[in-house]
Amino acid sequence: MKVQIAGPGCPKCQTTEKTVKEALAELNRDAEVIHVTDYQEMARLGVRITPAVVIDGKIALAGRVPSLEEAKDLLQSG
């Protein structure tokens, strides 16, 4: 599984990345987690609002920080 956190590195983006990593740990799942800060790459992924969580190339969430439970749900269905 490849999880990309798209955002310029703002506090909300950092919190999103931390939450996703914590969710992965609680689920005992391995995933490649990458923080995408390049605007051209974000546009290529289809991200228009940050923070965004992209799982295996599909935008799973955008525009807000997920709760831990929501992140776990996204990762289990992603």
Catalytic residue among 13, 53, 54, 65, which?
Answer: 13
- Say how far apart CA 12 and CA 63 lie, in whole Å: 10
With helix as H, strand as E and coil as C, how does 6-69 read? ECCCCHHHHHHHHHHHHHHHHHCCCCEEEEECCHHHHHHHCCCCCCEEEECCEEEEECCCCCHH
10 assigned to active site: yes
Q: So which residues are the catalytic ones?
A: 10, 13
